[in-house]
Structures are given as C-alpha cells and as structure tokens.
Amino acid sequence: MSKKPYKEIGSLSIHSVREEYSGVIKVSLNEMGYVEVSISETHEYGMTAEIDLTFEEYERVLKAVDKANDILLSDIFYQERYGVDLINVSGPSLKRQGFILVNVFEHSIILVVSLTRGADADIMIGKEEISLLRSLFKKVEMILDIKQFDKKA
C-alpha cells in the first residue's frame, strides 16, 4: 500500500525540565482517515517515531491524555511512572505499527510512541503545556468528527 500524503494539522514544541524529554509533537491527517502522531526528540541522540492511528485509536489517546490531566489536577504526585493507558496500534503499514503509552510522572505527562519495527520516542509534557497539547488533539478530533459526519451524509 502506498503512503497517502499527510496534511499537518499542527505541531507543538515541548521544552521539558529534563532535556532528554524535550521535543516536537506533530499531528497530521491523510485522505484515508488515518491520524499520524509523530514525536521527535530534540536532544543530540534523539529519535523520531511516527505512528498511524485509526479514529478509534486516536480517541483512546485523547481520552488517556484527558485522564492523565485529571490525575495531575488532583495534585497526586507520582515519583515513579504511573501508566494511564497503553494503546496498541495496528495501522496499514508495518513500519507505523506499535503502541502509544500515556504515563503520569511527577507533575507531567509522558507520551511514548514505540514502533514495532523501529524507534521509541518519548516526551515529557509539563502542566503549562498540557492545555496546548489537548487543544491540538481536540482540533484533530473536530476535523475527524466533521469527516465522519460528511461520510454519513
């Protein structure tokens, strides 16, 4: 299957208190309805991982980020990573399959994209950047909802 071109919906630069967890999150859509989530670590040996999600998988990621945000707002302090959700992704391309892991650690969300055949990239999103991430993810959700509605009409 040839890769359909993706249209970038938005990106977010994350500046973590720990340099190894800084990077860029990009979210894109293609004509077939897949959402591409890309995490690029910006440190010297950083990796980039791009994964293709279906609408349902993307919804799970969005719900996990919202749940992680609720945990952080409750002022529970986790000194070790606390797993919020693990979303297995079986996209159309073997190179873009794997999982997304959403964790809470201290006062941050750690978002991990792990590819079955390739890179593992993770990024630590602080409280001040979580609302920006949620806005980006909600923007994509609105576009997907409109596309789903158009298909039904």
Kindly report which listed range (38-42, 44-48, 87-91, 148-152) carries the lowest average pLDDT score: 148-152
Planar angle of CA 108, 80, 39, nearest 5 degrees: 45
Report the SS3 class of residue 36: strand
Q: Is the pLDDT of residue 1 over 50?
A: no
Cβ pair 27, 16 in contact under 8 A:
no
Three-state secondary structure of 118-131: CCEEEEEEEHHHHH
**pLDDT mean across residues, the chain:** 88
Kindly report which listed range (23-37, 98-112, 139-153) carries the lowest average pLDDT score: 139-153
pLDDT of residue 147: 63
Q: For the chain, how long is the longest CA-to-CA vector?
A: 49
**In the chain, % of residues over pLDDT 70:** 92
Q: How far is CA 125 from CA 118, 139, 142, in A?
A: 23, 18, 22
**Single-letter amino acid code for the residue at 135:** S
Token look-up 């978002």 returns: 111
* pTM to 2 decimal places: 0.86
The alpha carbons of the chain give a radius of gyration, in whole angstroms, of 15
